[in-house]
Chains A and B, each alone.
Chain A
Amino acid sequence: MPRDARGMTNQMITARGLTKTFRAKGQEVAAVQGVDLSVAEGELVAFLGPNGAGKSTTVRMLTTLLPPTAGDAVVAGSDIRRDPAGVRRRIGYVGQGTSGGHTQRVRDELHAQGAFYGMGRRETRARAAELIDSLELGQVANRQVQSLSGGQKRRVDIALGLIHRPELLFLDEPSTGLDPHSRANLWEHIVDLRRETGTTIFLTTHYLDEADQLAERVMVMDEGRVIADDTAPALKQQLAGDRVTLAFGSATDAAAAAARVGGESHGAVVTVTAPDGDRALPRWIRELADAGLDVHAATHRPPTLDDVFLALTGRSLREEGAAAA
């Protein structure tokens, strides 16, 4: 890992020891504790973690919205402390809320946004038209933001974040609150954007499938720290095995089988977690049959990011996500 971010031309984000403590009711609360991270140009990275893990706080520091208590970061070539305006000119940010003003018309907001970024009138208009087209907002361009559906509002948010062709786009919980169809549609737009412009994308999510399907690299965050950082397949491979279940005719058979394959039995069913469970399964069935233990049914499930989170923290992200939603 390079020590000096400015020496590296292809680093889009380099953060060292990023820390944020808030004072709440007379107590110091450490929202983010010494986060180090680096994101290369062109990467699509997801910050995955439960609500309150410190994902948004980290993003708010990287986007200059919040001054860090300690630590440094260089974002899109500018130091977040010394040159926040430089950072702001080069990044796009889509926060958790609705970026468009409720009583504003979609196209008007895009034009205003262009002016905010110092773009010329003609340039802004052309760019707004391009974004309206590519994000399929033509039908609603002259409508007020408050009259749009959740998915449409989110696409407007993204268009606003992209008006100035940012080199780096931050998406904070981009699909929270959207129905499955709108989510899929939004993901397609994000993926298209990435493919067509090579924009570096940094997103936060507490949805497992979003991190799994969308991101090339997943950083798992929990209680203010980054606790894992790799591709989704590598995380699954390293931190969580395949789940294999074997069903038997009786609980005694199951108990005997559990001892042989190194699993746990619950009634007549044995559960085993193992790397390469798909390869082990036929062998187990054969060996158990040789020992007189007939496998009546078997299932195999590859690991999910939830299994990774469970292995790392002892908690399930799925349950926390469901509780939060």
Chain B
Amino acid sequence: MNTITTDAATAASRPTDARPAASVARPTGFARDTAAVFVRESRPLVRDPFSVVFSLVQPLVFLGLFGPLLVGAAGGDVAGTLQWFVPGILVMVALFGTAATGSNLLFEMQTGSHERTLVAPLSRGTLLVGRALKDVVPLVIQGTIVVLVAVPFGFRLDVPGLLVGLAMLAVFGVGLGALSYTLALACRNRDWMFWMVHQTLLFPLMILSGMLLPLDEGPAWMRVAAAVNPLSYVVDAERALLAGAFGDPSILGGVLAAVATCAVGLTLGVRAMRRAR
């Protein structure tokens, strides 16, 4: 039994000269707590910026390998095809980046660091909102890189359009990220369920958004499906914005879809986080 070298039993006797412990924790508000969560979530990105670039591989592969096929199939010029295709890739960045983000929370729920934040005097909602806002950072960086990569190949960059487009994408991404966290909270320790739902939804959402191929030639049911897919509105609006066509009515549709996704995502996410035990 005595493998222990410390004389813990004697040392554990009542402290004599101890000053009484008094917690220095102070009450805070929603904004400050959200900022604290945001900063914590962002730190690994700051420490390891390469991770942001690494997750760009997939969209860049689509741009580099799918793009030329699209040029060949459509028979158009490279610049014109890129003008149509790059906005879709931008939305793909947002989709891939935020839809899987719940897996980070899932992992923290399993290891115990999420539990630690639940015992901290943070309001539960900030745990979700701070995380969802963090996802905007890599999204904006990656989106900018994708566009810049396309410029040498003839993509015409409209700077105001890009800025508004990224802002809309950020709003959409916050909502999608929040939905991903909601899914993680619902799955709790069932990784397989998270990934099953993720995979089941991701590709249909992507294809039915007209991101990779236009849906105009598709069967009627596909166009109906696209009409109820918020992603397709975001893709259309992104195409108009990146072309600098600010008067295009599709922009309003995209903004509404992004705001609606954000509102639904945050509502469901905050509710799920409040119920988390």
Which residues of A are in contact with B by a Cβ distance under 8 Å? Answer: 41-42, 44, 60, 63-66, 76, 85, 88-91, 93, 95-105, 108-109, 112-113, 115-119, 123, 127, 157, 160-161, 164-167, 180, 183-184, 187-188, 191-192, 194-200, 208-209, 212-216, 304
| 0/1 interface trace, chain B 78-119, chain A, CB 8 Å (1 if under) | 000000000000000000000000000001101111011111
- Decide if A85 touches B21 in the complex (CB within 8 Å): no
Stretch binding the partner chain, chosen from B35-43, B214-222, B253-261: B35-43
Which residues of B are in contact with A by a Cβ distance under 8 Å? Answer: 1, 3-6, 8-9, 11-15, 18-28, 32-33, 35-37, 39-40, 43-44, 47-48, 107-108, 110-113, 115-122, 277
Query: Within the assembled complex, what's the spacing in Å between the Cα atoms of A195 and B14?
Result: 7
Q: Knowing A115-B40, A215-B12 touch, does A88 contact B1 (C-beta < 8 A)?
A: no
Q: Knowing A115-B40, A119-B25, A165-B24 touch, does A102 contact B277 (C-beta < 8 A)?
A: no
Q: Knowing A44-B12, A123-B24 touch, does A196 contact B18 (C-beta < 8 A)?
A: yes
- Decide if B277 touches A66 in the complex (CB within 8 Å): yes
- Decide if A188 touches B43 in the complex (CB within 8 Å): no
Of B1, B4, B12, B111, the residue contacting A97 (CB under 8 A) is B111
CB distance from B27 to the nearest CB of A (A): 6
- Decide if A167 touches B22 in the complex (CB within 8 Å): yes
Of A113, A166, A216, the residue contacting B12 (CB under 8 A) is A216
Query: Within the assembled complex, what's the spacing in Å between the Cα atoms of A317 and B186?
Result: 36
Of B5, B14, B121, the residue contacting A85 (CB under 8 A) is B121
- Decide if B21 touches A167 in the complex (CB within 8 Å): yes
- Decide if A214 touches B12 in the complex (CB within 8 Å): yes
Query: Within the assembled complex, what's the spacing in Å between the Cα atoms of A119 and B117?
Result: 15
Query: Within the assembled complex, what's the spacing in Å between the Cα atoms of A195 and B13?
Result: 8
Q: Knowing A118-B32, A184-B5 touch, does A89 contact B121 (C-beta < 8 A)?
A: yes
B26 surroundings in chain A (CB, below 8 A): 89, 117-119
B21 surroundings in chain A (CB, below 8 A): 165-167, 197-200
Query: Within the assembled complex, what's the spacing in Å between the Cα atoms of A216 and B13?
Result: 7
B277 surroundings in chain A (CB, below 8 A): 60, 65-66
A160 surroundings in chain B (CB, below 8 A): 116
- Decide if A95 touches B115 in the complex (CB within 8 Å): yes
Task: Name the residue among B25, B32, B37 with the largest chain A CB count within 10 angstroms.
Answer: B25
- Decide if A165 touches B112 in the complex (CB within 8 Å): no
- Decide if A164 touches B24 in the complex (CB within 8 Å): yes
What are 7 A-B pairs with beta-carbon distances under 8 A? A98-B111, A101-B108, A104-B44, A188-B8, A196-B15, A197-B19, A216-B13
Q: Knowing A118-B32, A119-B24 touch, does A184 contact B39 (C-beta < 8 A)?
A: no
- Decide if A180 touches B4 in the complex (CB within 8 Å): yes
A183 surroundings in chain B (CB, below 8 A): 4
What is the chain A residue whose CB lies nearest that of B3? A180
CB distance from A287 to the nearest CB of B (A): 31
Q: Knowing A101-B108, A112-B39, A112-B43 touch, does A198 contact B116 (C-beta < 8 A)?
A: no
Q: Knowing A44-B12, A112-B40, A187-B4 touch, does A118 contact B116 (C-beta < 8 A)?
A: no
- Decide if B121 touches A117 in the complex (CB within 8 Å): yes
- Decide if B112 touches A95 in the complex (CB within 8 Å): yes
What is the chain A residue whose CB lies nearest that of B110? A97
Query: Within the assembled complex, what's the spacing in Å between the Cα atoms of A174 and B1?
Result: 18
Q: Knowing A42-B14, A101-B108, A102-B111 touch, does A88 contact B36 (C-beta < 8 A)?
A: no
Query: Within the assembled complex, what's the spacing in Å between the Cα atoms of A95 and B116?
Result: 7
Query: Within the assembled complex, what's the spacing in Å between the Cα atoms of A240 and B124?
Result: 47
Of A103, A166, A184, A199, the residue contacting B44 (CB under 8 A) is A103
What is the chain B residue whose CB lies nearest that of A200? B21
B5 surroundings in chain A (CB, below 8 A): 184
CB distance from A109 to the nearest CB of B (A): 8
CB distance from A119 to the nearest CB of B (A): 6
Query: Within the assembled complex, what's the spacing in Å between the Cα atoms of A71 and B227?
Result: 53
- Decide if A116 touches B121 in the complex (CB within 8 Å): yes
